[in-house]
Amino acid sequence: MHDSIIPDFSTKAVHFKSLKISSPAFGEHETIPSKYTCDGQDINPPLDIDDIPMEAKSLALIMDDPDAPRGTWVHWVVWNIPITHHIRENEKPGEEGLNNSDDHQYGGPCPPSGIHRYFFKVYALDTLLDLPADTRKEQLEKKMSKHIVAFGELVGLYSRDK
C-alpha cells in the first residue's frame, strides 16, 4: 500500500494512505449506467473499497459534480459508514446529510448539458462523527479533516445528450 498526497480542506498538503475505489457497474472515467441517474432508477451504484487501514473506525463518502454550471453540485453526503469493502446498490450505508437538492439521500447524475464528471470520494476515518442530520458537505469536510487516515476516489462520467 502506498501513500498519496491530496490537499486537505485548509489547502495545505497532507499525506494519506490510498484507498482503492471501484465499481462493478462502471470503470474509472467510464460512463455511469443510466440506472444510477435521474434518467433511470436514481439509486446509488455499488462501490468496492480496498486497502482500508487497520486504524480506520468508519468511512465517509461524498459524491459531487465539479462541472455543474453554478459550481460543484453535491449529490450525496454520508458518514459513520461501518468499515466495509462493499457499498451495495441502492443502500443507505451510513448517516446521510443534505445534498444540494436538500434531500437526505443519493441524488443521481442529471447534468443539464454535456458530459459531467462525478467524483465518488471515500474517506477512512479514525473515529465516528457526531453530526446533525442537516449536515452538508462543507460541515462534514471540516469535522472529518483531522481524522482522515486514507482517501480514494472513483470518477464516473454521464451525459444526457443523446
User: What pLDDT, on the 0 to 100 scale, is given for residue 11?
Assistant: 45
pLDDT band at 161 (very low <50, low <70, confident <90, very high): confident
Total number of domains constituting the chain: 1
Contact 18, 154 (CB under 8 A): no
**Domain containing residue 93:** 17-158
Residue at 123 is within a domain: yes
pLDDT per position as a tens digit, 23-40:
999 999 999 999 999 999
User: What pLDDT, on the 0 to 100 scale, is given for residue 16?
Assistant: 77
Q: The whole model's pTM is what?
A: 0.91
Cα distances from 48 to residues 27, 104, 133, in angstroms, run: 11, 22, 25
User: What pLDDT, on the 0 to 100 scale, is given for residue 152?
Assistant: 96
Residue 99 belongs to a domain with what CATH number? 3.90.280.10
pLDDT per position as a tens digit, 103-123:
999 999 999 999 999 999 999
